[in-house]
């Protein structure tokens, strides 16, 4: 598989000049190992996943750590998070040596607990997500962004089926004591069918015959293993009564399509889930752009109890907001900007940029700069029409 340059690479290299270690989390098969071995070809490599390696680490963690030749890549350290305590000891013994410990983990929350306790101030933390549309033109709604799917799209259905099975057997059982994997599989498909909706845990619990606390636990597993995005409502109250629950999306649209049985562009175009999946694709692209630039996630939606709703609110610093509506259509109408103009008129002293994001044509080439943005101020003043490429340009501006 041809190596694809990841946009986060520059941030990782920069961090190695200032920190003794870097920690890279993210979902399985997003490309963490490939990226790190390409960036640090001289580093020794340790996969802490094979049973014999795990047994050795647990029986003598100090001896194992003292034998490591640095710089070193410790892959999938969430399997033995206590090893971080001994890595810290070696870091503290030579505090002036930077970029010596490169650590990965697929389960963010368990790993972060170890980081908080053992590596605070010693390691910079990053997250690698599946490929973005800016990293590869092959990324699409139907295929998503996992590198192996893009490399062999004809085997995508088999890959996703195997991924779900592996994910269930490894990450889910490692993160929880779930025993009924059959019900959890149905839960995954049900969550996919709720993409783009306000999260309603009771609505998820009832058809599965499980409790709301169980749904809460399962959603937490999906979130900490970077399978879903929970987008919270925007926190500012512009004199309105606001909805307080988050909206739910899958991080990878290809996985969402697989769980919904959507196997082709033709099926997607005729599916009632086209709009929500496209909306989720836009949410994921925004998050990827933020994470790849080394910034914290900052994505919200707006909805009040009177029905005014805007899909995405992105704070852009200095009291500036970017408002965006996602429309899974190639034909944009003036009424699609109504919610944007209504909210823009209620935000007080914020400077607002408003965008309607629509699907590009199948043969459209990516255009940069102003050619990628069509101003429709004659229809709705202050609102611009863009494809996803234009929105990402605006986020970087």
- For the chain, domains (ranges, CATH) are 9-127 (3.40.50.300)
In angstroms, rounded to a whole number, what is the distance separating the alpha carbons of residues 348 and 351?
A: 9
Identify each DSSP E strand in 167-239 by its residue range. 228-231
In angstroms, rounded to a whole number, what is the distance separating the alpha carbons of residues 292 and 279?
A: 20
User: What confidence score (pLDDT) does residue 374 get?
Assistant: 44
User: What confidence score (pLDDT) does residue 50 get?
Assistant: 86
pTM confidence score: 0.92
Task: Please report, in angstroms and rounded to a whole number, the separation of the first and last CA atoms in the chain.
Answer: 33
Q: String of b and e for 115-144 (b: at least 16 CB within 10 Å)?
A: beebbeebbbbbbbbbbbbbbbeebbbbbb
The helix (H) or strand (E) run that includes residue 372 is none
Q: Is the dihedral of CA 48, 53, 59, 61 positive or negative?
A: negative
User: What confidence score (pLDDT) does residue 362 get?
Assistant: 59
Question: pLDDT 10s per residue in the chain (397 long)?
Answer: 678 999 999 999 999 999 999 999 999 899 999 999 999 999 999 999 889 999 999 999 999 999 999 999 999 998 898 899 999 999 999 989 999 999 998 877 777 777 877 888 899 999 999 999 999 999 999 999 999 999 999 999 999 999 999 887 777 777 676 778 889 999 999 999 999 999 999 999 999 999 999 999 999 989 988 999 999 999 776 656 677 899 999 999 999 999 999 999 999 999 999 999 999 999 999 999 999 999 999 999 999 888 889 999 999 888 889 999 999 988 888 889 999 999 988 887 889 999 999 997 654 444 333 444 444 333 467 888 888 998 898 888 7
User: What confidence score (pLDDT) does residue 361 get?
Assistant: 67
The helix (H) or strand (E) run that includes residue 155 is none
The structure tokens 């009832």 sit at 206
In angstroms, rounded to a whole number, what is the distance separating the alpha carbons of residues 216 and 76?
A: 26
């Amino acid at each position: 598989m041809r190596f694809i340059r990841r946009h986060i690479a520059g941030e990782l290299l920069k961090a190695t000049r200032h920190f003794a270690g870097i920690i890279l989390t993210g979902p399985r098969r997003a490309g963490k190992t490939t990226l790190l071995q390409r960036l640090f070809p001289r580093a020794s490599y340790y996969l802490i996943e094979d049973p014999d390696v795990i047994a050795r680490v647990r029986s003598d963690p100090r001896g194992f750590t003292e034998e490591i030749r640095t710089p070193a890549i410790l892959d999938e350290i969430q399997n033995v998070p206590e090893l971080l305590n001994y890595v810290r000891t070696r870091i503290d013994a030579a505090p002036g040596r930077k970029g010596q410990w490169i650590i990965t983990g697929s389960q963010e929350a368990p790993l972060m607990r170890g980081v908080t306790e053992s590596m605070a101030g010693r390691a910079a933390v990053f997250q690698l997500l599946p490929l973005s549309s800016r990293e590869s033109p092959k990324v699409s709604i139907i295929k998503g962004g996992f590198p192996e799917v893009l490399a062999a799209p004809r085997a995508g259905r088999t890959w996703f089926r195997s991924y779900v099975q592996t994910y269930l057997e490894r990450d889910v059982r490692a993160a929880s004591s779930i025993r009924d994997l059959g019900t959890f599989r149905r839960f995954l498909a049900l969550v996919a069918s709720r993409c783009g909706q306000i999260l309603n845990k009771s609505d998820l619990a009832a058809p599965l015959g499980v409790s709301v606390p169980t749904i809460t636990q399962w959603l937490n597993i999906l979130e900490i293993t970077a399978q879903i995005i929970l987008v919270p409502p925007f926190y500012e109250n512009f004199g309105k009564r606001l909805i307080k629950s988050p909206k739910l999306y899958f991080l990878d649209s290809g996985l969402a399509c697989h769980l919904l049985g959507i196997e082709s562009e033709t099926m997607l175009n005729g599916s009632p889930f086209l709009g929500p999946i496209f909306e989720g694709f836009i949410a994921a692209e925004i998050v990827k752009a933020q994470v790849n630039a080394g910034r914290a996630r900052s994505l919200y939606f707006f909805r009040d109890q009177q029905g005014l709703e805007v899909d995405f609110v992105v704070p852009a610093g200095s009291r500036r907001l970017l408002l965006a509506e996602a429309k899974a259509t190639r034909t944009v109408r003036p009424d699609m900007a109504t919610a944007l103009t209504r909210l823009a008129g209620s935000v007080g002293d914020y400077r607002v940029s408003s965008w309607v994001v629509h699907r590009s044509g199948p043969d459209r080439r990516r255009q940069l700069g102003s050619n990628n943005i069509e101003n429709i101020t004659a229809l709705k003043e202050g609102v611009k029409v863009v494809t996803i490429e234009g929105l990402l340009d605006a986020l970087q501006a």
